[in-house]
Amino acid sequence: MEVSFNKEVQQLRQGAGTTFHGEGILAITKALLQSGVAYVGGYQGAPVSHLLDVMVQAGDYLSELGVHVEACSNEASAAAMLGASIHYPLRGAVTWKSVVGTNVAADALSNLSSPGITGGALIVVGEDYGDGASVIQERTYAFALKSSMLLIDPRPDLQVMVRMVEEGFALSEAANTPAFLQLRIRACHVRGSFECKDNIAPAVSSRHLMEDPAAFDYGRLAHPPATFRHEKLKSAERLPAARRYIVEHGLNELFPGKREDLGLIVQGGIYNALIRALQQFGLADAFGDSELPILNLNVTYPLAPEQIADFCRDKRAVLVVEEGQPEFIEQEVAVILRRLGIDTALHGKDVLPMAGEYSVEAIAGGLAAFVGRHAPELPLAGGKQWLDDIVARREKVAAELAEPLPARPPGFCIGCPERPVFSAVKLAQQEVGKVHVAADIGCHAFATFEPFSMGHTILGYGMSLASRAGVSPMMKRRTLSVMGDGGFWHNGLLTGVESALFNGDDAVLLILKNGYTSATGTQEIISTPDDEVKAKAPNKHQSLVDRNVTIETTLRGIGVQWLKVVHSYRVEEMKKTLEEAFTTDFAGLKVIIAEGECQLERQRRVKPWIAGKLKRGERVERVKYGVDEDVCSGDHSCIRLSGCPTLTLKDSPDPLRVDPVATVIDGCVGCGLCGENAHAATLCPSFYRGEVVQNPRLGERLLARLRSAVIGLLQPA
Amino acid sequence: MSPHTAQLQQQSSSTFPARPAGRPYTVLIAALGGEGGGVLAEWLVEVALRCGYYAQSTSIPGVAQRTGATTYYVEIHPEPLAVLGGRRPILSLAPAPGGVDLFIASELLEAVRYVANGLVSPDRSLVIASTSRTLTTAERMQMGDGRMDEAALVETLHRHSQRCIAFDIAAATRAAGTAPSAVMFGAIAASGLLPFAREEWERVVRESGRGVEASLRGFARAWDVVRAGGEPEAVAPPAAAAAPTGAIDGFPAEVQDMLVPGLARVQDYQDAAYGRLYLERVRQVLEAERRSDPAALNGYALTRETARFLALWMAFDDIVRVARLKCSASRFSRVRSEVKAGEGDLLRIVDLFKPGIPEIAGLLPPGLERRLVRWEARRRAAGKPPFGFSLHLSTTSVSGFLALRFLAGLRGLRRRGVRFGREQAMIEHWLTQIRNAAAQDWRCALEIALCGRLVKGYGSTNDRGRENLAHILDHLAAVAMPPEAKAEAVRKAREAALADEGGQALDRVLIGNGAPPRPVKAQPVVWLTRKAGSAAGR
């Protein structure tokens, strides 16, 4: 990738006595080094991509420390990497986006947590839940529960988050159990500070290698009959050890309050929202001093029954504030209280919403019900009024606005090479009829939004081709599966291509080869063009993905017979190729590779290149498209075929016309799609391409002068 | 009181409601991907830290580089760190609805979205919003005008905030040559919410390293506008307000603003005789209107709208007109400014045409036209794609320019061409319906006149519009129903025809009013020879 994390890499070097200022995810990264981590791996995905990105760029410093970093091909590969900690005293950390990444990793995680670990194993998951999330809404909690893994959910204060990383490794080792550390989206991006410690170079590391492998120990294999013993160990030894550690080291925080008869149990990650909700009723101050005692669970699995019991015993009622469904913690608290015969009233999802992010407003609603029932003498009126006002305000604005506000989903970047492909798919369907489109995860999923509104299902990353296996045998027309190169390498090659070939399926696969896993931040993959190729390319505008043919050779090698590679900007050619794939007599798997390098990456090369040339006074040619305002008739079919943010509307300068005309605004990178569409769809003749030459050569200047003199003689006003 | 607070009170003219002790300052920022929202949030935390305050920011960056909406949220504890004695305030990671002191948005619709979500309080929140729009795809892709009413959006902000300062952040950004983040930073600084002196804010910008001068220009611009309480309303003179010169005799004043440019358009398009035909046609509608509305209670709106759409239709778009527009000198200079070509820069204009058989055939007399169309139909029936020349015409080269001049000179051919005759027949049909309707009900006539809007564009777009209009005229206008109901039905049908390309909405309106749906159009179909049970492969 062309983005530089220089500043962040420097921050990783900070030592004791300094204060770190920055984002949560970078603090976690630094905390790994403070904990003596020996190896780090993972698969990118918001909101935790930054961890791996910075680690990869910090290569020099990490090799000084002897820390190994691996950019894994998917989450399963990252989880399997933790196998190093089964036998060896190596602290390891991996990261991915959850719950989707944990789903992919689940096989390895089960096989890791069964034998258990020697060196601490930490899985930093970005809990992509609630506002801003991009995946299905499920909890990572279930995985911790079913595999008896530990789940750390730290209070979003950098100091606490860093401590929980350090303690997390120790806890993992004390319980011989891998631990999840989950961070919600906002916690990853929270900007705060903590007091640094020195980084610890691991004792065993890529600088200090082990002489011999561990002795053979069948008991460490996830294989029967050892697995039967493992299951017993989990409940008999490991979880009890974890509970002891949690209590002895005070990982969960007890904040006392004046109202000893009531209590709140909260997941660490939503503690701040709880405090703000309490503040709305005047029940807490700016520093979190609360009227109601709070048990803040920085470790949400396992719970320590004695700690829960001690907290609840002398209270009339307790509210469990637990985000997401189902209410795992509340259920366990209920079991603990019931078994011990403690008759404290228990509330949770009966007064709080079952689903959705626990925003301040959501928690406040639950608090109002809980406190109103058990301590109506507390002053709740102000907070309730505030809640009512919000609802009234929303209704009022909605009533005033004649229609709902149009949504603004993310879309393809300006100049994105994937946009023309969907223009072509739209045009091809006008010829051959509508087809079932199996969509996938990646930038290309933006085609599910307007103006393309394309895609019937999304079954997971790299799953599009596999997800049509039951559809295509049932349909007269062929189906189309769309996949990015990221998804192809993550999963699609095996779950999709191999399966389709083996079964002799009649299917069409469209691979968008832009050279990176772009939706996650343009991380490099095995089919990314080499740095050397990029450095040598004389024209930085040029797409270089054709220089890496790993996808093509892989497909041919596995047995794909019908394979076409089309430059993604040749809309007409792409349209014809799609039509051919949909209609050819060839009945097997047909693969079309749409080739065009990610525009973000190209622009990052182009900008400094152009700036340098202009500074030196060299000749520079740039292209911008435009619309002739007097030719455009205001039908906007060009926009319905493109959706490019720079192709927008302005009032028609013509007093006779009522509809706004299309216009190309600043920011156009001259990608050429407007021209391609105008031709491929026979749109309208209003588009022009403007080629501007800065610092032109003498010969060009003279020729231009001559031309304009001749034209000037014949030109109407 | 800290020294910063003292300075501030001398500077600030703004008023924020009194705040309870210990309540954090809260700033919510709504930006779009690529506008520097992340930098802005970082700067805000930076200025607070520098002035000795405890601050926290968070964000929902979304898929930030990719044009979607992004939000940033900053809280700052109101007492300096020095008096906290090591205690750490607990700040929220997300704004509580109504708990926002300052909400700033770089785009108007996004500003309203947060107001609609209830985040902004009419008792507490200052809203600083850009009046600039980045249109959503949903607004841009409509066949007519899908844009939200900007004045109504600004009005919503004023009504639901404690105070609202609206100014064009995009224009200020362009003028300063910086990023929106710098302008927004200046606006937040100037709001007076936070007790930090201007120098402190500017120092953060200065020490950020890149593009400092431009950032400071943007900062200063926003500072001035916000301190002045917003921009004076920019009054853009509406294009139609310019008094037309040379009013045309025999027509009321109310229609001159359409009639004068309409006549000019038609004459320029063909010739003086064509202009006379235009006037005659308008005159007939005027007479019908005078009979229908003798007191001119409606201000001659029927004649005016007919004059508008009639001129556009009579000067229908064809190769000749496009060539004429493309080679004019005013167009060359307009393109030069649109692509921002500098003084010494060379400009090459490449025009993208794809004239097909219908465009060429339309200029030919009936006999030739029939043969050409039949040839094309045979090709299409054989499964070949429509015939067309994909041209990249370099209009700034001598040969390219001459080609355009040649095409522009084919004006004489037009009158004898098939399309000209067809358009005239269709126009007459429309005008007759308007006049007939006027005899019964003025409003119904107006609705039919407004249907002229459906006819626009080139190729298939134009075909679709004309077919929709013809269908409405022949079927909906022909259904027996009370005049008011018919006017309403025609209006709905017109709006539906602009709602979707496929015409489903129009069909629904037609059926709902007792008219037949549009006929199914013949289209070449590609058959796939897949039969049930014939699993391919193994």
The nearest alpha carbon in chain A to B158 belongs to A397
Nearest-angstrom CA–CA distance, A363 and A351? 9
Q: What percent of chain A has pLDDT over 70?
A: 100
Q: What is the pLDDT of residues A17-44, one digit of tens each?
A: 999 999 999 999 999 999 999 999 999 9
Q: What percent of chain A has pLDDT over 90?
A: 90
Q: Is residue B380 part of a domain?
A: no
CB B471, CB B510: distance < 8 Å: yes
Q: Answer yes or no: do B135 and A503 touch at CB < 8 A.
A: no
Stated as kind and residue range, the H or E segment containing B413 is helix B411-416
Strand partners, A624: A690
Count CB neighbours of A698 within 10 A. Answer: 7
Q: In this complex, is the C-beta atom of B141 within 8 Å of any C-beta atom belonging to chain A?
A: yes
Beta-carbon contacts of residue B374 (< 8 Å; ≥ 6 apart): none
Rounded to two decimals, the ipTM of the complex is 0.95
Strand partners, A439: A458
User: Which residue in B505, B515, B522, B440 sits closest to B470, CA to CA?
Assistant: B515
Cis amide prior to A451 (ω within 30 degrees) = yes
Stated as kind and residue range, the H or E segment containing A336 is helix A328-340
DSSP, res B65: T
**pTM greater than 0.90 (yes/no):** yes
DSSP B335-352: HHHHTT--TT-EEEEEEE
Mean local confidence (pLDDT), A67-91:
97
CA distances from A71 to A44, A59, A82, A94, B254 (A): 8, 12, 13, 10, 72
Residue A342 in this model has a pLDDT that exceeds 50 = yes
Residue with tokens 């319905």: A640
Q: Is residue B96 part of a domain?
A: yes
DSSP, res A290: B
Q: What are phi and psi of A275, to 5 degrees?
A: -60, -45
- Number of alpha carbons in the 13 Å side-chain half-sphere of residue B257: 15
**What pLDDT does A74 receive?**
96
The shortest C-alpha distance from A476 to chain B (Å) reads: 6
Distance of CA B25 to the CA centre of its chain: 37
Average pLDDT of every residue of chain A: 95
Which chain B residues in 365-384 lie under 8 Å from chain A, judged by CB atoms?
none
Mean local confidence (pLDDT), A605-613:
93
Are A6-210+219-247 and A252-400 in the same CATH fold? yes
Strand partners, B28: B73, B103
Residues of B in contact with A289 (CB under 8 A): none
Nearest to B141 among A410, A450, A583 (CB): A450
- Residue A136 sits at the vertex; the CA angle it makes with A419 and A423, to the nearest 5 degrees, is 15
Q: In this complex, is the C-beta atom of B480 within 8 Å of any C-beta atom belonging to chain A?
A: no
Q: Is residue B223 part of a domain?
A: yes
Nearest-angstrom CA–CA distance, A24 and A109? 25
Mean local confidence (pLDDT), A207-215:
96
Nearest-Å Rg of the Cα atoms of chain A is 30
- A-interface mutation test, from B19, B25, B137, most A Cβ less than 10 A away: B137
Give CATH for domain A619-714.
Answer: 3.30.70
Distance of CA A497 to the CA centre of its chain: 25
Strand partners, A42: A71, A95
User: Which residue in B116, B93, B29, B56 sits closest to A360, CA to CA?
Assistant: B93
Strand partners, A125: A96, A182
CA distances from A283 to A258, A273, A294 (A): 10, 13, 12
**What pLDDT does B10 receive?**
39
Beta-carbon contacts of residue A401 (< 8 Å; ≥ 6 apart): B112, B116, B152, B156
**What pLDDT does A96 receive?**
97
B266-282 per-residue burial string, b: 16 or more CB within 10 A, e: under 16: bbebbeeebbebbbebb
**What pLDDT does A451 receive?**
94
Q: What is the pLDDT of residues A494-529, one digit of tens each?
A: 999 999 999 999 999 999 999 999 888 889 999 999
Domain encompassing residue B129 = 3-227
Q: Answer yes or no: do A191 and B92 touch at CB < 8 A.
A: no
Nearest-angstrom CA–CA distance, A362 and A387? 10
Nearest-angstrom CA–CA distance, B323 and B404? 5
Q: What is the pLDDT of residues A469-486, one digit of tens each?
A: 999 999 999 999 999 999
Residue A683 in this model has a pLDDT that exceeds 80 = no
- B-interface mutation test, from A637, A651, A687, most B Cβ less than 10 A away: A637
Distance of CA A425 to the CA centre of its chain: 27
CA distances from B335 to A690, A695, A711, A714 (A): 8, 19, 16, 19
Q: Please report, for the domain that includes residue B72, its CATH number.
A: 3.40.920.10
CB B69, CB B32: distance < 8 Å: yes
Tokens of B417: 């061409």
Cis amide prior to A224 (ω within 30 degrees) = no
**What pLDDT does A518 receive?**
85
Q: What are phi and psi of B206, to 5 degrees?
A: -60, -35
Q: What is the pLDDT of residues A316-336, one digit of tens each?
A: 999 999 999 999 999 999 999
Q: Which SS3 state, helix, strand or coil, does residue B193 take?
A: coil
User: Which residue in A186, A606, A661, A427 sits closest to B239, CA to CA?
Assistant: A661
CB A506, CB A587: distance < 8 Å: yes
Residue type at A631?
V
* Domain extent listing, chain A: 6-210+219-247, 252-400, 419-602, 619-714
Q: Is residue B346 part of a domain?
A: no
Residues of A in contact with B317 (CB under 8 A): 631, 633
CATH architecture entry for A6-210+219-247:
3-Layer(aba) Sandwich (3.40)
Tokens of A429: 């369907």
Residues of A in contact with B32 (CB under 8 A): 408
Residue with tokens 């986006």: A97
Residues of A in contact with B140 (CB under 8 A): 636, 639, 643, 647-649
Distance of CA B497 to the CA centre of its chain: 19
Q: In this complex, is the C-beta atom of B52 within 8 Å of any C-beta atom belonging to chain A?
A: no
Residues of B in contact with A402 (CB under 8 A): 152
Q: What is the pLDDT of residues A623-638, one digit of tens each?
A: 999 999 999 989 899 9
Tokens of A157: 């204060």
Q: Is residue B131 part of a domain?
A: yes
Count CB neighbours of B17 within 10 A. Answer: 12
Count CB neighbours of A76 within 10 A. Answer: 21
Q: How many distinct structural domains can be found in chain B?
A: 1
A714 — pLDDT class (breaks 50, 70, 90):
confident
Q: Answer yes or no: do B397 and A626 touch at CB < 8 A.
A: no
Cα dihedral A147/A148/A154/A158 (nearest 10): -70
CB A421, CB A512: distance < 8 Å: yes
Residues with pLDDT less than 70, chain B: 1-14, 62-67, 232-245, 523-538
CB A13, CB A57: distance < 8 Å: no
Alpha helices in A507-570 (DSSP H): 531-536, 550-558
A635-659 per-residue burial string, b: 16 or more CB within 10 A, e: under 16: bbbbbbbbbbbbbbbebbebbbbbb
Nearest-angstrom CA–CA distance, B47 and A142? 42
CB A613, CB B438: distance < 8 Å: no
Q: Is residue B182 part of a domain?
A: yes
Residue with tokens 């933006």: A446
Nearest-angstrom CA–CA distance, A641 and A644? 9
Q: Is residue B371 part of a domain?
A: no
Residues of B in contact with A624 (CB under 8 A): 338-340
Class of domain A252-400: alpha beta
At the fourth CATH level, the homologous superfamily of domain A419-602 is Thiamin diphosphate (ThDP)-binding fold, Pyr/PP domains (3.40.50.970)
Nearest to B328 among A390, A583, A716 (CB): A716
Stated as kind and residue range, the H or E segment containing B140 is helix B137-140
Strands A661-664 and A687-694: unpaired
Higher pLDDT, B389 or A148: A148
CB A117, CB A172: distance < 8 Å: yes
Q: Is residue B344 part of a domain?
A: no
Size of interface A-B (CB pairs under 8 A): 377
Tokens of B424: 């005239």
Cis amide prior to A47 (ω within 30 degrees) = yes
